[in-house]
Amino acid sequence: MFTGLSAFPHTPLRDDRFDEAAYARLLERLTVAGVDSITALGSTGSYMYLDRDERRRAARAAVQHADSVPVIVGIGALRTSQVQTLADDAQEAGASAVLLAPVTYQALGDDEVVGLFEDVTAGLSVPLVVYDNPGTTHVTFADDLYRRIATLPHVASIKIPGVPADAAGAAARVQAIRDHIPATVTVGVSGDSTAATGLSAGCDAWYSVIGGTLPAPALRITRAALSGDHAAASAESAGLGPLWALFAEHGSYRVTAAIAEHLGLVAPDSLPRPVQGLGAAARAHAAQVVDELRLAD
Amino acid sequence: MFTGLSAFPHTPLRDDRFDEAAYARLLERLTVAGVDSITALGSTGSYMYLDRDERRRAARAAVQHADSVPVIVGIGALRTSQVQTLADDAQEAGASAVLLAPVTYQALGDDEVVGLFEDVTAGLSVPLVVYDNPGTTHVTFADDLYRRIATLPHVASIKIPGVPADAAGAAARVQAIRDHIPATVTVGVSGDSTAATGLSAGCDAWYSVIGGTLPAPALRITRAALSGDHAAASAESAGLGPLWALFAEHGSYRVTAAIAEHLGLVAPDSLPRPVQGLGAAARAHAAQVVDELRLAD
């Protein structure tokens, strides 16, 4: 479950309410395409903006519409007891695993981050993916923090930020992480533009933003890289250059929502305010990239 | 209401539940001391860690135990609709004003921050304090952002971060802010160690962490500075040097909780996990500072 392509779908809103019908459409694309797992309620899935009831409904909908594809559910929240409640809800909904980022308001020290993972894993029945997302959590994982958390029970995988752009640097980075964690814990790359490099450098999985909306190109990159055809993976990724440029300029979160809106998969204005969708020019540009590169096919 | 000392009490937990009896004890100290306003559910009050029901109960308790002191209630949350709900709850609880920080998970642009304040102020019946707290929100307010928000209806005050340590630099900073906002909007300093300087430099108010637990020394600084006796304010603040050093090393949030625990006002372990209280050595040091400087008198 913690190898290959894990697709992170958007959790669409319509008039500020969870749009389950649109969510089912997004999930169906993923099962038809044949992704290896679905991670519901990741950052791309707006988890931190949704209340407990919305997250429970999204988790249930994800499991229901995922067919036989394993579903990982994000359980991050600011308070440990809230995370524990969300973990219970996710497991009751049928999640195959959970994803946990150490979300902060007051900055947390390493002992506090470890304490969070200790307290949460102590009550789990399913595996856990550690979510290292410094751009949103403002927590920096040193390799020693990986080590302390990866050796806790139930920890099965680490979602790492993007890797260095050069192959040697990426391989060294992945090896450095592996040297700190048990061999049973997989390493999954995020930062979509670096995924081909990361998979070719030895990552086991790609925790993918764009794979949640455009699974076909994400699967081509993943299958090529994990079969050892690094040149093909790199060429596929290079072909998505205009998309990566949009991500770099506007953030993958807003661009992905705009693409789902452009494709008619979700209603307009599907992000939680105060987050605003792309402006008209960027939106038109994103639509043009998707159409010209035929990314939705 | 938006001048003088606004005291920010800790919201104590006991076994991870809101401890209303301890909260009432904290509030009573503030009314007896004669603070000018009480801001419930600020950062010091752990607002982001509490759920809607806990925040509603804390807001009601604050109003109930504040006697005739005006109560400002923090309504920050990640999603605009959640903020609006919390604003309604605060007003129903009897809040005299609300306090709003643009809390982020995904980074927000200036237009999104302004949009949040527009949407929230449109539904308010009470005044609003703008909460500029970059350390926790990761939003940077340029002066032009102050201008755009301060001209919205209901905006009555801005809580700014600490000012420069030198009197001339602090005065220039306060004047620069004033040049961007309506004359009716007050400026309140935070960053407790810079409060004497900020008040002497022309700030109207001190939004005070330590004032929520140790109101007496905070009031001495405030009264001296606002009466024009800048030397006395500065001397009072200098006398609290050991406390400011603890704040600088461990953060005011954890130190203040440790002080309230040391004074027996709240139960041990009163912060929301994963946040951990001070370690034994720092805790003993904080207790020593409070006792030796007789700060609780």
Check CB contact under 8 Å for A273 and B115: yes
User: Can you tell me the distance from the alpha carbon of A87 to that of A106, in angstroms, rounded to the nearest whole number?
Assistant: 22
In angstroms, the first-to-last Cα distance of chain B is 25
Mutate to test the interface with B, among A79, A86, A276 (most CBs of B within 10 A): A79
Give the C-alpha separation, A10 to A7, whole Å: 10
Q: Is A118 at the interface with chain B, CB within 8 A?
A: no
User: Is residue B109 pLDDT above 90, yes or no?
Assistant: yes
DSSP run (H or E) holding A148: helix A143-150
Q: Supply A201's token pair.
A: 């450098």
- For chain B, what is the radius of gyration of the CA atoms? 18
Helix H or strand E segment including A189: strand A186-189
Whether B103 sits inside 8 A of A108 (CB atoms) is no
Pairing of strands B128-131, B155-160: parallel
- Distance between CA atoms of residues B161 and B195, nearest Å: 10
**Hey, are the CB atoms on A115 and B81 less than 8 Å from each other?**
no
Task: Provide the β-strand partners of residue A17.
Answer: A14
Map residue A37 onto helix, strand or coil: strand
Is there a contact between B142 and B176 (Cβ–Cβ < 8 Å)?
A: no
In chain A, which residues have their Cβ closer than 8 Å to the Cβ of B111? 276
d(C-alpha B101, C-alpha B141), whole Å = 11
List, in sequence order, every residue forming a beta bridge with B14; answer none if it has no partner. B17
What value does the mean pLDDT take over residues A26-55? 98
Nearest-CB residue to A273 (from B109, B119, B276)? B119
- pLDDT grade for B51, boundaries at 50, 70 and 90: very high
pLDDT class for A44, splitting at 50, 70, 90?
very high
Helix (H/G/I), strand (E/B), else coil: A147: helix
- Quick one: tokens of A152? 């806790």
The verdict on a CB contact (< 8 Å) between A80 and B108 is no
Number of domains in chain B: 1
Question: What is the extent of the structural domain holding B188?
Answer: 4-229
Q: What CA dihedral angle connects B32, B36, B40 and B43, to 10 degrees?
A: -120
Cα gap B214→B223, rounded to integer Å: 15
For residue B85, pLDDT beyond 90: yes
CATH code of the domain in which A224 resides: 3.20.20.70
Report, as an integer, the average pLDDT of A188-192. 97
**Contact with chain B for residue A31, Cβ under 8 A:** no
What's the token pair of residue A182?
Answer: 């048990």
CA distance B98 to B123: 12
Would an 8 Å CB–CB cutoff place B276 in contact with chain A? yes
**Cβ-contact B68, B43 below 8 angstroms:** no
**H-run or E-run covering A99:** strand A97-100
CB contact under 8 A, B274 and A108: yes
Subunit contact B274:A49, Cβ cutoff 8 A: no
User: Residue A170 pLDDT > 90, yes or no?
Assistant: yes
Model pLDDT, residue B43: 97
Phi, psi dihedrals of residue B60, rounded to the nearest 5°: -65, -45
pLDDT at A282 over 90: yes
Per-residue model confidence (pLDDT) at position A104: 98
Contact B40, B58 (CB under 8 A): yes
Find which of A18, A104, A105 to mutate to test the B interface (most B CBs within 10 Å of its CB): A105
Q: Do B80 and A48 touch (CB under 8 A)?
A: no
Can you give chain B as a three-state secondary structure string?
CCCEEEECCCCCEECCEECHHHHHHHHHHHHHHCCCEEEECCCCCCHHHCCHHHHHHHHHHHHHHCCCCCEEEECCCCCHHHHHHHHHHHHHHCCCEEEECCCCCCCCCHHHHHHHHHHHHCCCCCCEEEECCHHHHCCCCCHHHHHHHHCCCCEEEEEECCCCCCHHHHHHHHHHHHCCCCCCCEEEECCHHHHHHHHHCCCCEEEECHHHCCHHHHHHHHHHHHCCCHHHHHHHHHHCHHHHHHHHHHCHHHHHHHHHHHCCCCCCCCCCCCCCCCCHHHHHHHHHHHHHCCCCC
| Three-class DSSP category at A22 | helix
Q: Looking at the domain assignment, is residue B160 inside a domain?
A: yes
Judging contacts by C-beta atoms under 8 Å, the chain A residues touching residue B272 are 78-81
Average pLDDT, chain B: 97
- Decide if B272 is inside a domain: no
User: Are A106 and B275 a contacting pair at CB < 8 A?
Assistant: yes
Domain-embedded: residue B16:
yes
Could you tell me what percent of chain B has a pLDDT over 70?
Answer: 100
Q: Does the pLDDT value for residue B276 go beyond 90?
A: yes
Q: Are B9 and B212 in contact (CB under 8 A)?
A: yes
Mean pLDDT of the B228-240 span: 98
Q: What is the ipTM of this complex?
A: 0.97
pLDDT of residue B81: 98
Average pLDDT of chain A to the nearest whole number: 97
Q: First and final CA of chain A: distance in angstroms?
A: 25
What pLDDT shows up at residue A5?
98
Q: Is the pLDDT of residue B67 over 90?
A: yes
Bridge partners, A207 (sequence order): A6
Per-residue pLDDT at A297:
80
Is the pLDDT at B175 greater than 90, yes or no? yes
Q: Do the domain assignments include residue B199?
A: yes
Q: How many A×B Cβ pairs under 8 Å?
A: 86
d(CA A226, CA A143): 25
Q: How far is A84 from chain B (nearest CA, A)?
A: 11
Per residue in B13-38, pLDDT (tens digit) is 999 999 999 999 999 999 999 999 99
H helical segments located in A35-139: 52-65, 80-93, 110-121, 134-137
Mean pLDDT over residues B177-196, rounded?
97
B54: left (phi over 0), alpha (psi -120 to 50) or beta: alpha
The answer as to whether A87 is a domain residue is: yes
CA B5/CA B27 separation, integer angstroms: 14
Q: Return the pLDDT at B297.
A: 80
Residues of A in contact with B108 (CB under 8 A): 274-275
CB-nearest partner of B273 from A49, A80, A135: A80
Is the residue at B296 inside a domain? no
How far apart are alpha carbons A215 and A34 in whole angstroms?
Answer: 8
Which pLDDT belongs to residue B6? 98
Give percent of chain A above pLDDT 90. Answer: 99
Q: Provide the shortest C-alpha distance from residue A71 to chain B (in Å).
A: 23
Q: Are strands A186-189 and A205-208 parallel, antiparallel or unpaired?
A: parallel
Nearest in space to B267 (alpha carbons), one of B15, B55, B92, B48: B15
Contact (CB<8Å) A113/B251: no
Whether residue A191 lies inside any domain: the answer is yes
Residue A123 lies in a domain: yes
